[in-house]
Amino acid sequence: MSIIKTCNIKYSYDGNRVVLKNISTEFETGKIYAILGPSGCGKTTLLSLLGGLDSPSDGQVLFQGEDIEKKGLAWHRKNNVAFIFQSYNLIDYMTPAENVALASKLPPLPILERLGLTKEEAKRNVLKLSGGQQQRVAIARALASDASVILADEPTGNLDEDTAVEITNILKECAHQMNKCVIIATHSNDLAKQADTALRLKKGELFSEKK
Amino acid sequence: MSFMKRTVLYCIRQRFKTVILFLALTLIATFMLTGIAVRDASKRVAADVQTAIGGKIELNLYAEGHMGNGQQNQWGTVYEYNDDFITQEIVDAIGKVDGVVDYNTEDAAAYYGAGVDFKYLPASFGLSYTPYGESSAYTATLSSEKCAKFQSGEYKLVDGRHITRDDKYTCLISKELADYNGLSVGNKIKMYSLDSDSISEFEIVGIFDGTEGTSGNALTVDEIPANCGFIDCAAMFDLFADELNGYQQLTIYVEDPVNVRNVYDKISALPELNAKTLKLSINTDEYDVISTPLTSLQKLVNTIIIIISVVSIVILTLLLTIRIRGRKKEIGILLSIGKSKANIILQIFAEVFVVALISFAASIPFSFSATKKAEAFLASRVAAGTAGFNVQIDAAYLLPLYMIGIMLIAVSVIASSWTIVRSTPKDILTKMS
């Protein structure tokens, strides 16, 4: 059953440069999706529209059948979706535990420990952690929010090969074991191969990729 | 995590930025507090001056066109006022007007008396145009305390009391004259008046000084201030009942000079003054001389407070704009996890407010030293001549300081947060990456 759906969404910059053309697709929980495409093809824009960071020029984004604009984009971001960014996007004057606590009232330590951070590491400043550890904190924050949809923009882009594999496995675990809908925008064919469904953005249109 | 917890974390973890904000706010608060204290001090002094001086209304004879055709005598043509005088009936009616605290008349050289049983300090010419020698001048008054020389401080009562409205045949003499004749308060002196051709006895009710060293080379005894004194009006009316039709002048004292116009209107409307050839006028000269620099000071301080407020808003806005520019990533992250723009702006406001709470309190000791310097400067320049110009910091000033401060912070936060309000979360995150 689809949790989030796009209905003929269009997006253009300043009404001229069209980035997305009539995209209609749907995403289900318990699955991991990869959106492939070259830089500037609109992957991040599509994620932004799904996550309510921006509004489409035309068309609708539906969450559980309801237009996300109805309750407000901030409400949608707070309750329905969680973001994971390539550059981790953690608040640098906070500890990992505090960063996770930003999105949830649940105690952050169990989630961080589940993702491989020790108690000591959870209380350090985030800038003192490695890239992989910082991305784990970002994933922990996404999981702590209890959102059904996780939107990941190049989550392994800044990581070495081994760490990228570890992060990919965590994301797969989120989808398959925690029944989340994980949508990843990536250049990486390796990461796309791990996804249940791979989609390719080409000239503003979305195509299903044969596996 | 609530915005308050984020606020506390930011203030504690970003110590350097917090200290800079603290210093800026302390400086602003010090200027503001000093300004409020100076404005309050000038208001207080102005109020004291108002109370001390009071307001005055003058009632005079309207002589123009009422001086008759003149009469010829051995000295030439003599003109004499021939219309309405200020009668006792008018004076009594004025005394009952609400807002009038006192009244007085001061008729200089109204009575000339020669010493029957005492002597005047001698002048260059020893004229003897009366059987008792030369006469000296006396001012007739209802209240000697209100007379110009006592009000200005030139004369001071050193013994006894002043002449009041209830007195009859009383006088004040100078200490020099008293010492010259061995007179004291309670003694009675006899004077001969050439005008009434009679001898009258006056009781000395008070002795004043301030005449010392002013005799100079006087030609006649009445040119020596020490020989001139004060007598009550009742004696004058008794001595010259046939000639005196009333007072020539009346000074009416009003409690509050700000209210003088109302009292003036009430007196003007008295039926006793209706169609009388008398001139009523407001006299605020004395108050104006003292209050003008204080009013100017209040205006100046108000302007300075406005300038400080505007400059503070500009400084705070610049400071916060720089802070917010450096926090775009944080703002983007908060927006991406569903925090509303209002929640983020509230956090920025709370961060400044928390620091302001401490810095405004910390500005008090700095303001103490600033007010002392301001007091010394203003007391010597602007408010010279006004006693008790005391600039001090009062705990009550903290309320307006915090109110103005919160308003300044709110304006600055809104102005500096404009970029957040204007942008979509995607814009912020795109620029951030």
Please provide the DSSP assignment of B9-28 as one string: HHHHH-HHHHHHHHHHHHHH
Going from N- to C-terminal start, the domains of chain B cover 3-48+290-432, 107-246
Shortest Cα–Cα distance, A48 to chain B (Å) = 7
How far is the C-alpha of A76 from the C-alpha of A60, rounded, in Å? 14
| Sign of the alpha-carbon torsion through A101, A107, A113, A115 | negative
Lowest mean pLDDT among A41-50, B119-128, B133-142, B168-177: B119-128
B336 has a pLDDT exceeding 70:
yes
Residues A137-150: pLDDT tens digits?
888 888 788 788 98
Q: Which amino acid is at B431?
A: K
Residues B257-281: pLDDT tens digits?
677 888 899 998 999 888 788 888 8
Other C-beta atoms within 10 Å of B156: how many? Answer: 11
Q: Quick one: pLDDT at residue B229?
A: 95
Q: Quick one: pLDDT at residue B431?
A: 64
Interface size, chain A vs chain B, as Cβ–Cβ contacts under 8 Å? 71
Other C-beta atoms within 10 Å of B363: how many? Answer: 26
Measured between beta carbons, which residues in chain A are less than 8 angstroms from residue B9? 93-94, 98
Chain B, nearest residue to A143 by Cα: B337
The candidate with the shortest Cα–Cα distance to A196, out of A35, A61, A55, A40, is A35
How far is the C-alpha of B390 from the C-alpha of B42, rounded, in Å? 9
Confidence of residue B384 (pLDDT cuts 50, 70, 90): low
- Is B338's CB within 8 Å of A77's CB? yes
Confidence of residue A39 (pLDDT cuts 50, 70, 90): confident
Tell me the average pLDDT of chain B. 84
Measured between beta carbons, which residues in chain A are less than 8 angstroms from residue B6? 102
Shortest Cα–Cα distance, B24 to chain A (Å) = 23
Average the pLDDT over A76-86 and give the result. 86
Confidence of residue B382 (pLDDT cuts 50, 70, 90): low
Cβ burial, residue B60 (10 Å; 0-12/13-18/19+): middle
Chain A, nearest residue to B426 by Cα: A53
Shortest Cα–Cα distance, A180 to chain B (Å) = 17
How far is the C-alpha of B204 from the C-alpha of B184, rounded, in Å? 7
Measured between beta carbons, which residues in chain A are less than 8 angstroms from residue B338? 74-79, 103, 145
- The pTM (predicted TM-score) of the whole model is 0.62
Is A43 at the interface with chain B, CB within 8 A? no
- Is A91's CB within 8 Å of B330's CB? yes
| H or E stretch at B91 | helix B88-95
Assess contact for A155 and A86: CB atoms under 8 A: yes
- Is B329's CB within 8 Å of A103's CB? no
**Nearest Cβ partner for A53 among B14, B334, B424:** B424
Other C-beta atoms within 10 Å of B306: how many? Answer: 11
**Nearest Cβ partner for A53 among B13, B336, B340:** B336
Per DSSP, the three-state class of B140 is: strand
Q: Quick one: pLDDT at residue B433?
A: 54
Q: Is beta strand A81-84 parallel, antiparallel or unpaired with respect to A197-202? A: unpaired
- Is B330's CB within 8 Å of A82's CB? no
| Phi, psi at B192, each rounded to 5° | -105, 130
DSSP symbol at B219: S
Q: Quick one: pLDDT at residue B156?
A: 93
- Is A76's CB within 8 Å of B425's CB? no
Percent of chain B with pLDDT over 70: 92
Measured between beta carbons, which residues in chain B are less than 8 angstroms from residue A68? none
B278-283, strands of its sheet edge to edge: B100-104, B249-254, B55-61, B278-283
- Is A48's CB within 8 Å of B333's CB? no
Is A57 at the interface with chain B, CB within 8 A? no
Is A103 at the interface with chain B, CB within 8 A? yes
- Is A93's CB within 8 Å of B9's CB? yes
**Nearest Cβ partner for B426 among A53, A86, A141:** A53
How far is the C-alpha of A6 from the C-alpha of A67, rounded, in Å? 10
Average the pLDDT over A147-156 and give the result. 86
CA B282 vs CA B46, B146, B253, B276: distances in Å: 19, 17, 10, 18
**Nearest Cβ partner for A77 among B1, B337, B433:** B337
How far is the C-alpha of B126 from the C-alpha of B155, rounded, in Å? 27
The number of angstroms, rounded, from the C-alpha of B135 to the middle of its chain's C-alpha atoms is 41
- Is A82's CB within 8 Å of B337's CB? yes
B338 has a pLDDT exceeding 70:
yes
The number of angstroms, rounded, from the C-alpha of B153 to the middle of its chain's C-alpha atoms is 17
Average the pLDDT over B211-239 and give the result. 88
Average the pLDDT over B328-353 and give the result. 86
CA B326 vs CA A67, B17, B50, B332: distances in Å: 34, 11, 55, 12
| ipTM given for this complex | 0.81
What does the block give as tokens for B419? 């970029």
